[in-house]
Amino acid sequence: MVKTVASGYKQSLSYADETTYGSAMTVDQPFGLVQTISPKETNSLIKVRTLGGTRDFNNIVPGKFEVTGSLDYYLQGAAFMRMAIGEDTATTATIDSGPKIIATTTYLHIMGSAASPGADAFPSFTMELADEEDTGAGATKNLKRTYSGCRVDKLTLSGNVDEPVKVAVDWKAAEVTVATSAATDVTQYTQDPYVFYQGNVYFTSAEIDSNTTEASLADDIVANVNNFEVGISNNLESGWYIGGTTSVNQSLRGAKHIIPKGREWSLKLGLHFDDATMYRKFLGAASATQSQSTLAKYTCVIDLVRSGTFGTPTTTDDYMRMVMASATFDDITIDAAPEDIVSEDTSLFVKQAKVYVADSDSSYQ
């Protein structure tokens, strides 16, 4: 008899904000249009040989239990990005306290200031990966894994002319539990994903925030952009200790903490070559004719707009603005071939960044 095998169409992925790190929550939020997920769970086997034994191992015992993984999805809503950056507020000095109302049912979320949450308060999440192969009765083939104490190690947001805007995530978790019950029912996004033509890319020396209009940036548009990639790395470090656990939320072999260290932003732009302007800026200044001893710094702005207008709040606002400050050119490649359009690929180091999102979501938590 031919046995059936599992299908990705029967899998689902969702998450929930953790109010206490490592304390598993019932999932209640969607990621978006998930394309792939690849969890990796490692028993870190300890293998022991002994004097007087054979040439084979004498003992094999489990070591630390380690969970890492990756996933990617098409961007419909920005709530999960809070897990990589942390959310500021537009009204007080309190960190990670949510958005402000900007137009009746429209909210402004601000993520990514230099005063982001500390290591202990940094957002964490519970993630459910469910595979529903049958009704769950009898000898069920269902497999539902719940990962707790999850934190984002790296997040990359990219836009290409051949697909919707995509978010790729590398994550770590403290523990996993397994069940055969049905997937938790989570309300999914109804919006179409962001796509590459909904916005612009700008290079400017001006101070930019959510109220800066697109019209005021018209002279700073970067032409012929084929793709962009914005990355954030939290440089997570996991820790295991002797003596079991120090918290009811910890498992015996699982990681006792997963904390963010220094944050790093990155930016890549792929263009079709237009003129020497970008190359001169790479050399150090807009008027440079050779490499300079100092490099000019710019603010790069990437706007994605499904509806509404920056600087004029309305109930239809649905947009995202990424503002990367003190962006400094790191490398550039200008390729040419007889049958190709000349391409210009640049990488920049970003000192700090903020992400502004206007949507109808009153809370990302």
Q: Which two tokens stand for residue 132?
A: 């529903």
pLDDT at res. 91 = 56
- pLDDT band, residue 92 (cuts 50/70/90): very low
Residues in the chain: 365
Tokens linked to 46: 């300890």
> Does residue 320 or residue 312 have the better pLDDT?
320
Between CA 160 and CA 294, with CA 296 as vertex, the angle to 5 degrees is: 130
SS (H, E, C) 61-130: ECCCCEEEEEEEEECCCCHHHHHHHCEECCCCCCCCCCCEEEECCEEEEEECCCCCCCCCCCCCEEEEEE
Mean pLDDT over 49-63 rounds to 94
Burial class (CB in 10 A: 0-12, 13-18, 19+), 237: middle
Q: Is residue 148 part of a domain?
A: yes
Closest CA to 291 of 305, 303, 281: 281
- What pLDDT is stored for residue 93 in this prediction? 45
Predicted local confidence at residue 39, as pLDDT: 96
CA distances from 254 to 146, 152, 175 (A): 14, 17, 6
Element (H, E) at 282: helix 277-283
Range from 73-77, 119-123, 200-204, 285-289 that averages highest in pLDDT: 73-77
Q: Please state, in angstroms and rounded to a whole number, the distance separating the CA atoms of residues 303 and 274.
A: 21
68 within domain boundaries: yes
**Is residue 113 situated within a structural domain?**
yes
Mean pLDDT of 90-101: 60
pLDDT digits (tens, 9 = 90+) for 40-54: 999 999 999 999 989
pLDDT per position as a tens digit, 15-46: 999 999 989 999 999 999 999 999 999 999 99
Number of domains in the chain: 1
Residue in the structure block whose two tokens are 């952009």: 225
* Token pair recorded at residue 49: 């040989």
CA 77 vs. chain centroid, Å, equals 12
Please tell me the distance from the alpha carbon of residue 187 to that of residue 28, in angstroms, as a whole number: 7
Would you state the pLDDT for residue 90? 59
Residue 346, pLDDT score: 93
Nearest CA to 245 out of 64, 124, 41, 46 is that of 64
Residue 274 has what pLDDT? 86
- The reply to whether 324 falls in a domain is yes
pLDDT at 194 over 90: yes
Question: Would residue 143 count as lying in a domain?
Answer: yes
* 98 confidence band (pLDDT: 50, 70, 90): low
Rounded to 10 degrees, what is the CA torsion of 196, 202, 207, 209? -10
Range of the domain at 300: 8-47+56-359
Task: Give the model confidence (pLDDT) of 126-170 as tens digits.
Answer: 999 998 877 776 678 888 999 999 999 999 999 998 899 999 999
| Token pair in block for residue 308 | 């509404």
Percent with pLDDT over 70 in the chain: 92
Instruction: In whole angstroms, give the CA distance from residue 79 to residue 31.
Output: 8
Supply the mean pLDDT for the chain. 88
Please choose, from the candidates 182, 185, 183, 180, the residue with its C-alpha nearest in 3D space to the C-alpha of residue 141: 180
Average pLDDT over residues 280-293: 88
1 assigned to some structural domain: no
| pLDDT at residue 95, rounded to an integer | 53
Query: Is 3 contained in some domain?
Result: no
197-216 mean pLDDT: 90
Q: Would residue 365 count as lying in a domain?
A: no
User: What is the reported pTM?
Assistant: 0.91
Structure tokens at 111: 């993520």
The tens digit of pLDDT for each residue in 228-252 reads 999 999 999 999 988 777 787 788 8
Instruction: Inform me whether the pLDDT recorded for 283 exceeds 60.
Output: yes
